[in-house]
């Protein structure tokens, strides 16, 4: 007998593993998480949290506390821009105000909060929702059969080993994923682009900021290319250095010969002011890389986060894409574990998230090359698409989506234009102050209709009973609802627990109950009753 039995084993308890534990807990699944480190992140790393991630955090009840913590750390709504040096010439303003022009598409906002502050909030929520978190615990091997995954783990302090048996396993074990390696899943893409460094430092930076509200400051000059992020009260921050020397033929290996003095040299070259006193606190070495795992699953094991895709931190997409992976996987695992869905529902994780992860990785690569590493532009760049398309406009094409005859398989679109198209994120509308359409989703399937949708409303509980699932039915009175969701007043829209439109009927049908039973069975990949 194994020593621990759990429905889902999550390997890696950093941003993505901890998010997976929270989303599973939200669906009533108490996961077991093993994490090599003794606690959550000690380095800031990811900080830009997109609206889509914030929407997921809103669903699990931590949006408010995330916003509050963010306010303590960063001035809100800063710019993303490029300079020659912080003290010197400005080169470009990519985003003048982080939330300019995007507030209408979501009930929430983009913000900055570092992993150091965010992960403890996720940890607390995961524990509240019943996760079993095991820090200082390393997974050392695993095997799977047709019924379960059995992992051998080791407690680092005592060296004690024991076995954990799970129905499913999530590999949230980061860019060098040992699980991905053991499964023999190769990475495909642009490869390793540089041996980069992040230098965490202290310095009086306020005079160099000159009152500018800057969230991300790209630095590009003849000495180096990278970026700053600076926290309140402008005395601490980090400098990422990706390449140094001649921008056309740069040095991509920052690891060799790295000393404290070299770090100070880099900081001076980026600050552009030799008089500023600087203290280097820490240095982190990592690879700038743009690669996606060939497959996102193998049997009962699912890759999520950097284990599945590694992208340059240009656009701030890496951690967010991982949060979306966890969000997309959690409800499917919960439905299958509860036997509400057929096991094939899990095979929809890969087509849905692989396409989104690949598109996002390429978009991060395009931003890296055009903003910082022009020497890599060899004519194979995907054209840059709008940030909103990447952040929340990715769309799904799988057997858990019922396409329309006029549907196409576009990988992304502007969320203002998707208008309830099956496969896209269900649009936001304020229903009353503080309550969005998005607040109707999160746990169950939801059926939305408008004033003339009474037939659908009556059919919903009957269909739910026949299917043995929860189905929330809502009649939406908002004047723009039909237009925003692309239906007539007698139509209906079926939204999945992850807030994606699974199916819609533009108008009324003769037998709504049978239609709903047939449709939801198909979406859940289970046989028709
Ligand atoms: C400088 C920088 C800035 C960035 N900025 C942003 C940003 O603004 N926004 C954004 O979205 N992303 C950003 N990113 C990317 C983001 O940091 C990563 O995408 C994110 O941290 C990935 O999280 P993860 O949980 O998948 O992997 P990781 O954070 O790598 O976590 C993996 C965890 O698994 C554990 N682990 C591994 N193997 C085992 C094992 N066998 N047993 C137990 N535990 C194990 C590790 O200890 C680790 O804690 C940035 C990255 C960098 C370097």
For the chain, give every domain's residue range: 3-73+108-184+292-376, 189-289, 425-523
Average pLDDT on 355-370 reads: 98
- Average pLDDT of the chain is 96
CB 348 within 8 A of CB 380: no
Residue 405: is its pLDDT beyond 80? no
Q: Using CA atoms, how far apart are residues 435 and 63, in angstroms rounded to an integer? A: 13
Binding site membership of 319 for ligand 1 (Cβ less than 6 Å) = yes
**Ligand 1 atom closest to the CA of 47, numbered from 1:** 8
Binding site membership of 312 for ligand 1 (Cβ less than 6 Å) = no
Binding site membership of 174 for ligand 1 (Cβ less than 6 Å) = yes
Task: Supply the pLDDT for residue 233.
Answer: 93
Count how many Cα atoms sit within 13 Å of the Cα of residue 254 in the half-sphere of its side chain. Answer: 30
Q: Using CA atoms, how far apart are residues 224 and 196, in angstroms rounded to an integer? A: 11
Domain 3-73+108-184+292-376 bears CATH identifier 3.30.2040.10: no
Residue 158: is its pLDDT beyond 70? yes
Q: Could you tell me the distance, in angstroms and rounded to a whole number, from the CA of residue 207 to the centre of ligand 1?
A: 33
Q: What percent of the chain has pLDDT over 90?
A: 95
Note the pLDDT tens digit of each residue in 85-95: 999 999 999 99
The answer to whether the pTM exceeds 0.95 is: yes
Domain 189-289 bears CATH identifier 3.90.1150.10: no
CB 151 within 8 A of CB 142: yes
Q: Could you tell me the distance, in angstroms and rounded to a whole number, from the CA of residue 319 to the centre of ligand 1?
A: 7
Note the pLDDT tens digit of each residue in 165-178: 999 999 999 999 99
Residue 1: is its pLDDT beyond 80? no
| Nearest CA, atom 15, ligand 1 | 318
Q: Using CA atoms, how far apart are residues 242 and 372, in angstroms rounded to an integer? A: 9
**Ligand 1 atom closest to the CA of 310, numbered from 1:** 19
CB 397 within 8 A of CB 428: no
Note the pLDDT tens digit of each residue in 498-525: 999 999 999 999 999 999 999 999 999 9
* The CATH fold of domain 425-523: Glutaredoxin (3.40.30)
Residue 529: is its pLDDT beyond 80? no
| Nearest CA, atom 49, ligand 1 | 14
Q: Could you tell me the distance, in angstroms and rounded to a whole number, from the CA of residue 14 to the centre of ligand 1?
A: 6
Binding site membership of 198 for ligand 1 (Cβ less than 6 Å) = yes
Encoded tokens for 323: 């949060």
Binding site membership of 14 for ligand 1 (Cβ less than 6 Å) = yes
Helix, strand, or coil (residue 227): strand
Strands 471-475 and 445-449: parallel
Residue 98: is its pLDDT beyond 60? yes
DSSP tag of 375: G
Binding site membership of 16 for ligand 1 (Cβ less than 6 Å) = yes
């Amino acid at each position: 007998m194994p020593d621990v039995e759990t429905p889902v084993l999550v390997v890696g308890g950093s941003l993505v593993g901890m998010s997976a534990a929270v989303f599973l807990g939200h669906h009533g699944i108490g996961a077991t998480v093993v994490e090599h480190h003794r606690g959550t992140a000690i380095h800031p790393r990811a900080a830009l949290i997109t609206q889509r991630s914030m929407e997921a955090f809103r669903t699990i009840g931590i949006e408010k506390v995330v916003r509050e913590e963010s306010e303590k750390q960063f001035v809100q709504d800063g710019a993303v821009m490029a300079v020659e040096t912080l003290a010197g010439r400005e080169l470009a303003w990519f985003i003048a105000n982080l939330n300019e022009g995007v507030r209408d598409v979501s009930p929430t906002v983009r913000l900055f909060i570092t992993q150091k502050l965010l992960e403890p909030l996720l940890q607390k929520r995961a524990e509240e929702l019943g996760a079993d978190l095991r820090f200082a615990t390393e997974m050392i091997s695993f095997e799977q059969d047709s019924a379960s995954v059995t992992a051998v783990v080791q407690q680092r302090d005592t060296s004690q080993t024991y076995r954990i048996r799970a129905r499913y396993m999530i590999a949230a074990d980061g860019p060098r994923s040992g699980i991905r390696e053991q499964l023999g899943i190769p990475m495909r893409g642009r490869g390793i682009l540089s041996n980069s460094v992040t230098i965490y430092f202290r310095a009086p930076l306020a005079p160099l900021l000159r009152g500018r509200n800057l969230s991300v400051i790209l630095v590009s000059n003849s000495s180096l290319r990278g970026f700053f992020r600076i926290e309140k009260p402008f005395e601490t921050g980090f400098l990422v250095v990706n390449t140094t020397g001649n921008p056309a033929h740069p040095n991509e290996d920052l690891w060799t010969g790295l000393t404290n003095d070299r770090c100070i040299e880099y900081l001076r070259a980026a600050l552009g002011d030799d008089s500023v006193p600087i203290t280097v606190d820490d240095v982190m070495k990592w690879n700038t890389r743009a690669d996606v795992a060939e497959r996102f699953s193998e049997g009962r094991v699912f890759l999520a986060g950097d284990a599945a895709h590694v992208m340059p931190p240009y656009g701030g997409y890496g951690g967010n894409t991982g949060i979306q992976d966890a969000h997309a996987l959690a409800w499917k695992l919960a439905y299958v574990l509860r036997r509400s869905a057929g096991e094939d529902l899990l095979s929809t994780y890969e087509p849905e998230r692989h396409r989104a992860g690949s598109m996002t990785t390429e978009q991060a690569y395009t931003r890296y090359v055009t903003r910082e590493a022009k020497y890599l532009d060899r004519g194979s760049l995907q054209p840059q698409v709008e940030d909103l398309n990447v952040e929340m406009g990715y769309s799904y094409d799988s057997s858990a989506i019922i396409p329309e005859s006029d549907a196409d398989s576009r990988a992304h679109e502007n969320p203002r234009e998707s208008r309830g198209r099956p496969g896209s994120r269900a649009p936001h509308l304020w229903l009353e102050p503080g309550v969005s359409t998005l607040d109707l989703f999160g746990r169950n399937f939801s059926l939305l209709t408008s004033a003339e949708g009474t037939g659908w409303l009556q059919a919903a509980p009957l269909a739910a009973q026949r299917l043995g699932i929860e189905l929330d039915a809502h009649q939406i009175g908002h004047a723009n609802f039909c237009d925003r969701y692309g239906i007539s007043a007698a139509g209906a829209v079926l939204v999945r627990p992850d807030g994606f439109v699974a199916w819609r009927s533009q108008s009324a049908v003769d037998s709504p109950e049978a239609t709903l039973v047939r449709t939801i069975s198909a979406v859940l990949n289970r046989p028709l009753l």
